[in-house]
Amino acid sequence: MSFSHLSHLECGRCGAVHAADRPQNLCRRCGSPLLARYDLAAVRAAVRPADLAGRRSDLWRYHELLPVGRGDAVVTLGEGMTPLLPMPRYGARIGLPGLLMKDEGLVPTGSFKARGAAVGVSRAAELGIKRLAMPTNGNAGAAWSVYGARAGLTTTVVMPADAPEITRRECAAAGADLTVVDGLISDAGRMVGELVAREDGEVFDASTLKEPYRIEGKKTMGLEIVEQLGWRTPDVIIYPTGGGVGLIGIHKALTELAELGWISGPPPRLVAVQAAGCAPIVRAFERGERHSEFWSGATTVAFGINVPRPLGDFLILDALAATSGTAISVTDEELLADLRAVAALEGAFVCPEGAAAFTAARKLRESGWLAEDDEVVVLNTGAGLKYPQTVAVDVEVVPAPDPA
């Protein structure tokens, strides 16, 4: 039995077919991201949803729909199968009693980026790649550094100086070659591009959507949501969107499951959430455009979604259109208030990006876009503990009592 039923790579824009048995970056015809395609008939013949119940409780339970060709090539730290938690008190406050949270703060490295790193690094090592390079807003660099170390690969990471401090330390602890730049992720991306060109084949560019397998790890969030709901879909999935790989991946997962016949009916409406200080996808969506424009002066406390122009913008916008979804921006003040509200009401210390998704749920319910009886899944993409500066603490230090 095949461990993977990966068939080929396909350009997300022009449809050009590329071989999957060698390292690939962007489409050689049009320069767009490549997407992994599978022999779904073979998957359907090999496995049924019921067969998954007895498998390992991590994302590799879906190995037929993942690109790694051999079980012994898997690089893992136990990532995946994060809980899908009811949020009754916050849900009641905002008028969504069916509100659920998929909590990605519980995966290795503390963010959903571990999913993409596990699959991307596993496939890179399987294809013989020895050195990876990538720009990052923090969490992705930390995850790829850790998984790269576990696979015995060298990882070069370039991150903005404003990225969360803990992610810089994660990279250093894992022995990554780390550069910090006084700029945005777009500046870090240019530095990585220059390095890859200069090294001429010795360094593989693992930037967001410039390699085709990170998205495969991220799509397992969608696979898990459906399995955790008993092989059915919720009404709405709300996702904080920077580079958008998670949202694209969830949409890809839902499409594959529908083609397999494992789910039926209309897909969940997908919601892309951005910060008011960096909202290129929201602006493009509101204008009815298929591409975004560079967002000048991008800034937000939700640093993981501070991406001025995502490479996969058209894939994000296509996913919203295909699911009758929407895009919405929230202010830093709003998301920080909801971060504290979720923690106080539910005991969940979410990351600022996750808080933005909760704010979006609240605002969409207020506007009537969400109905009271909608089953809504909010993605919390990381642990709030990685962003301690989001909660101010002004408490008096009292003297210790005198010894008895």
Residues 218-228 have pLDDT tens digits of 999 999 999 99
114 neighbors 141 (Cβ within 8 angstroms): no
Q: Are 44 and 92 in contact (CB under 8 A)?
A: no
Dihedrals phi, psi of 261, to nearest 5 degrees: 85, 15
pLDDT tens for residues 68-116? 999 999 999 999 999 999 999 999 999 999 999 999 999 999 999 999 9
Residues 361, 96 contacting (CB under 8 angstroms): yes
Q: Which sign does the torsion angle of CA 15, 245, 227, 364 carry?
A: negative
The DSSP result for 60-103, as a single string, is: GGGGGGSS---GGG---SS-----EEE-HHHHHHHT-TTEEEEE
Distance of CA 110 to the CA centre of its chain: 12
Model pLDDT, residue 200: 87
Convert 211-232 to b/e letters by CB count within 10 Å (16 or more is b).
Answer: bbbbbbbbbbbbbbbbbbeeee
Q: With a cut of 80, say whether residue 290 has pLDDT above it.
A: yes
pLDDT tens profile 147-171 = 999 999 999 999 999 999 999 999 9
Residue 361: predicted pLDDT: 99
Q: How does residue 404 score in pLDDT terms, banded at 50, 70 and 90?
A: confident
The fraction of the chain above a pLDDT of 90, given in percent, is 99
- 3-state secondary structure (DSSP) of residue 344: helix
The torsion of the CA quartet 121, 262, 12, 240, rounded to 10 degrees, works out to: -70
The β-bridge relationship of strands 6-11 and 204-205 is unpaired
Phi, psi of 154 (to 5 degrees): -95, 135
**Cα torsion 43, 47, 50, 56: sign:** negative
pLDDT at 155: 98
Mean pLDDT of the chain: 97
Could you read off the pLDDT of 3-13 as tens digits, one per residue?
A: 999 999 999 99
Burial classification of residue 119, based on how many CB atoms lie within 10 Å of its CB (0-12 exposed, 13-18 middle, 19 or more buried): buried
Q: What angle do CA 84, 90, 95 make, to 5 degrees?
A: 105
How much is the average pLDDT of 163-186? 97
pTM greater than the 0.95 cutoff:
yes
Question: Does residue 344 surpass a pLDDT of 90?
Answer: yes
The answer to whether the beta carbons of residues 302 and 355 sit under 8 Å apart is yes
From CA 243, how far away is CA 228, in angstroms rounded? 26
Rounded Cα–Cα distance for residues 154 and 203 (Å): 9
| Single-letter residue type at 163 | A
pLDDT of residue 401: 94
